[in-house]
Amino acid sequence: MTKALGKRIKELREARQWSLRETTDRTGVSKSMLSKIERGSASPTATVLGRIAEGFGISISHLVGGEAPRGDVVIVRLKEQPVFRVPTTGFERRSLSPLAANGGSTDFVVNFLPPLQSSGTFPPHRPGVEETLVVSSGRLRLHLGATQHDLGTGDAIFYRAQVPHRFDNPSDRDPAVFYIVINNAGPR
């Protein structure tokens, strides 16, 4: 996954004819870290991945998974679903929606967060991006800017995602599993 992600980032950067310096300016990620990620020698945190995606003006799922086939019906098999994992925390984000099938405006993801772990802080999305989250199992503490919301199994929350946001699992024994529908239709 690390090498494939690095290759994808390098391809996107080169397609835009951006230098590492320009990519740093657009993403806020250091030149040395971008270089390590592109070479596959470093795995980005959720925060870094979010910054890179926002800098390129695409969703994390698009960054991690690229384009999916178009069609009226698209099956995304488990083995084909783009996955992003943070090795140090065990946080996992799996993309469930084929991005090209709907123009990339809606993204559907499932997240897994082990007990007492955090996703890391995702940077603010551009204005207009909205998220609807539902907790499938476990407990979740959602930080939106300076506020926090404690959620349990079956709870749902809608929010505008132009503020830093973080997901924490306050449980000391149960993982948190939560789904998010991301509306990326805001201005680019």
The CATH number for 28's domain is 1.10.260.40
Per-residue pLDDT for 126 more than 90? Answer: no
Per-residue pLDDT for 131 more than 90? Answer: yes
Give the residue-averaged pLDDT of 25-30: 91
Verify that 89 and 173 share a domain, yes or no: yes
Residue 72 lies in a domain: no
Residue 101 binned pLDDT confidence (cut-offs 50, 70, 90): very low
Two structure tokens written together for 83: 């996955």
Residue-wise pLDDT tens digits, 59-84: 787 777 766 666 778 888 898 888 88
Query: Residue 43 sits in which domain range?
Result: 2-65
Domain-terminating residue out of 41, 65, 89: 65
Verify that 47 and 89 share a domain, yes or no: no
SS3 content of the chain, % helix, strand, coil (to 5): 30, 30, 40
Residue-wise pLDDT tens digits, 42-52: 888 888 888 89
Verify that 86 and 179 share a domain, yes or no: yes
Residue 174 lies in a domain: yes
Cα separation, 96 vs 115, in Å, equals 23
Domain-terminating residue out of 65, 87, 119: 65
Verify that 137 and 59 share a domain, yes or no: no
pTM strictly above 0.85: no
